[in-house]
Chains A and B, each alone.
Chain A
């Protein structure tokens, strides 16, 4: 975001005709945008850059409880990285994280699109009702939501087992959803997607309201079906919004932690490890802070790569206009 602002400032400056002014005044004028950027840069440096620097430094140290008590790590070069790259648990976890992220993002965007399209079709009071429902889901603190889901899938008294048994789907009495990682992940992914839909759906709906109805009408007159109109008119117009919500969803889902950690009662088995959980367990449960940092650095690097891709997309979109 910060990289866009100087460019914007420059384009403002460029729109004035080039007239020579005294040097002092020119310097003062030129320094104003940078001065305005200072407070934000200072905040970003304090809350992001320094912790990131510290994280990277820690990842090159042996830093356990012994070192923690003395506040002094032991430099060991790239040994932490060598260890994680030779650890099959790390690769399994990375693969699982990517797969979970992909499934969550696809499901989130798919359902959110359907809901947004539905919202556009509804009468205003039903739309209000549905929006209120979405907002409630969005407003539920994640910890509370996870507790509620835990109750619902409780193996003994959960409403999920009760309902499925009553509906005759099978005998779900004492069915433990977390015993099998596949069904456990089914629950966790549903929970993540459920929590992620409102933001995406409401954002997409906001975008839909900006799609001019004349365009759609014109398409209909030309004989385009609803799917064709959606694919060739709505979708291209909403592309900037899709780029943003997809990139956000990837960032959120890639670092998912709470849902996994709390629904497994803070004792996840390795089948439930995602990158964030793995880094957390390594750092804070086993007190291998250096090793945990190395895992976190890899995670940050992957996220940075994803971000670069999407920022480029955003810039490209800007150029077209």
Chain B
């Protein structure tokens, strides 16, 4: 019977598919030959400060002629998963950048080689916040790379057109400007007074910090999610009402899909909350390719707090550079890290809109009107709970899901925070 032959062919086709899906694996990371080292950096360096990377590599190669430096750029979405795969295969990169909220888990697991800070440039003046994110159990496991604070990047001309010649000093001014902007330009359905993607938990948690709330607290050795505290609920209520009144960004995407600089560069947003490096990124072809005339119209200011005279605390983000314990070229790796985190490269990194890793270099941007507001914003800051498992909360998208649920009205703030709290409590207390 022909139909049985057809069935058999179909079955054969199917089995080949099953086999191929079962064998999907991960590509290995780096080479182990001493003529080459593999470096994993985030795409931020590729987009924002490629010159600093080139500078470090040429400095390194002057010291080690003939050693190739293979820099591979990674995305935040997938870097940890790829790093884990490389650990499983004992084939890690020799140098890796991790975010300062990600390092704790890897230090606790013993994935990094301990280092001696005194062997690294400017270690006596490393930024305290970053230095802390590299310390675990009395040892140092990574080198501070750079820090960043977020501020409001805005269009001066649009603010002026609704009667504000200078940046808002108080939260109520900030809200008034937003309302006036929406009244004047809001008939364009794509216009946002403040472009704020619904999953941007960094901003939501800044509100929480501003109202005196916290994400989680440690009580007698046990972690507990506390986003259902009255302060946090008040904060998230303010966050929700601001987002719904001012933003036409997607409520189910985060601040990298798309980068807010894109709608901003296209004239569809009067402002967005971004890192220092996102200012120049507005002119980058990938960041929206704003016309050069934009430069004169742009400004930045620290987000004002609801408490008059203060700024809203900003997330003190940043990155560190570590040497995986499985690297076969640790001393070469260390030399590249020294070159990349030394004064020359860090100066270039700072000029691209970041806070350099050393207090010695804080003066680099002091006279730059574009970047000074970011340094001022950093005066009030918050950081994630100091639990080794914290990054799993990020990886499981708990706060993104919560923020999305709140701004889409899928859940009340109370039920969304209760749900997030129980998940956070579970993850932070999990045995590692």
A residues whose Cβ falls under 8 Å from a Cβ of B: 1, 47-48, 51, 62, 64-66, 68-71, 155-156, 173-174, 176, 178-180, 199, 203, 206-207, 210, 237-238, 240-241, 243-245, 248, 251-252, 255, 264-270, 281, 284-288, 314, 317-318, 321
Contacts and interface: CB of A to CB of B under 8 A. Distances in A.
A218 B184 CA distance: 75
Interface string B137-160: 000000000000000000000000
Nearest to B26: A284
A267 B10 contact: no
Nearest to A282: B396
Interface in B370-404: 392, 395-397, 400-401, 404
Contacts of A281: 395-396
A69 B7 contact: no
Contact of A267 (B22, B81, B108, B199): B199
Contacts of A173: 189
A174 B87 CA distance: 43
A317 B81 CA distance: 46
Interface in B241-271: 248, 250-254, 257
Given A156-B190, A267-B254, A66 B109 contact: yes
Nearest 4 interchain pairs by C-beta = A269-B401, A285-B395, A65-B109, A179-B408
Contacts of B4: 240, 317-318, 321
A252 B19 CA distance: 12
Contacts of B257: 265
B109 A240 contact: no
A285 B410 contact: no
Most chain-A CB neighbours within 10 Å: which of B6, B80, B88, B254? B6
Contacts of B7: 240-241, 243-244, 314
Contacts of B21: 255
B252 A241 contact: no
B45 interface: no
Contact of B410 (A179, A240, A243, A286): A179
Contact of B110 (A66, A203, A286): A66
Interface of B: 1-4, 6-7, 10-12, 14-15, 17-19, 21-23, 77-78, 80-81, 84, 87-88, 90, 105-106, 108-111, 189-190, 199, 248, 250-254, 257, 325-326, 392, 395-397, 400-401, 404-405, 408, 410, 427, 430-432
Nearest to A46: B23
6 contacts: A69-B111, A155-B250, A174-B189, A207-B3, A269-B405, A286-B396
A65 B15 contact: no
Contacts of A155: 250, 252
A245 B190 contact: no
Contact of B22 (A47, A62, A238): A47
A187 B326 CA distance: 44
Nearest to A242: B7
B397 A241 contact: no
A62 B23 CA distance: 23
Contacts of B432: 64-66
A38 B271 CA distance: 67
Given A255-B21, A318-B4, 11 more contacts: A48-B19, A65-B87, A68-B87, A179-B404, A180-B410, A207-B6, A240-B3, A264-B252, A268-B397, A281-B396, A287-B392
Contacts of B253: 265
A47 B23 contact: yes
A65 B395 CA distance: 14
A68 B84 contact: yes
Contacts of A66: 108-110, 432
A42 to B, nearest CB: 13
Contact of B81 (A178, A240, A284, A314): A284
Contact of B250 (A156, A251, A287, A321): A156
A294 B7 CA distance: 33
Contacts of A70: 110
A112 to B, nearest CB: 12
A68 B88 contact: yes
B250 A65 contact: no
B338 to A, nearest CB: 25
B6 A267 contact: no
B3 A241 contact: yes
Contact of B431 (A62, A269, A270): A62
Contact of A251 (B14, B78, B105): B14
B6 to A, nearest CB: 5
B408 A286 contact: no
Contacts of B392: 285-287
Nearest to B106: A65
A70 B90 CA distance: 10
A281 B401 CA distance: 14
A27 B260 CA distance: 75
A68 B2 CA distance: 51
A210 B189 contact: no
B19 A47 contact: yes
Given A156-B250, A287-B84, A210 B109 contact: no
Contacts of A286: 392, 395-396, 427
Contacts of B17: 252
A265 B408 CA distance: 17
Nearest to B20: A47
Q: In the complex, which of the residues A207, A241, A244 has the most CB atoms of chain B within 10 Å of its own CB atom? A: A244
Given A176-B252, A240-B3, A285-B396, A69 B109 contact: yes
B22 A48 contact: yes
Given A64-B432, A179-B408, A270-B401, A69 B110 contact: yes
A288 to B, nearest CB: 7
Contacts of A267: 199, 254, 397, 400-401
Contacts of B397: 267-269
B189 A65 contact: no
B248 A174 contact: yes
A142 to B, nearest CB: 11
Nearest to B393: A286
A248 B14 contact: yes
Nearest to B392: A286
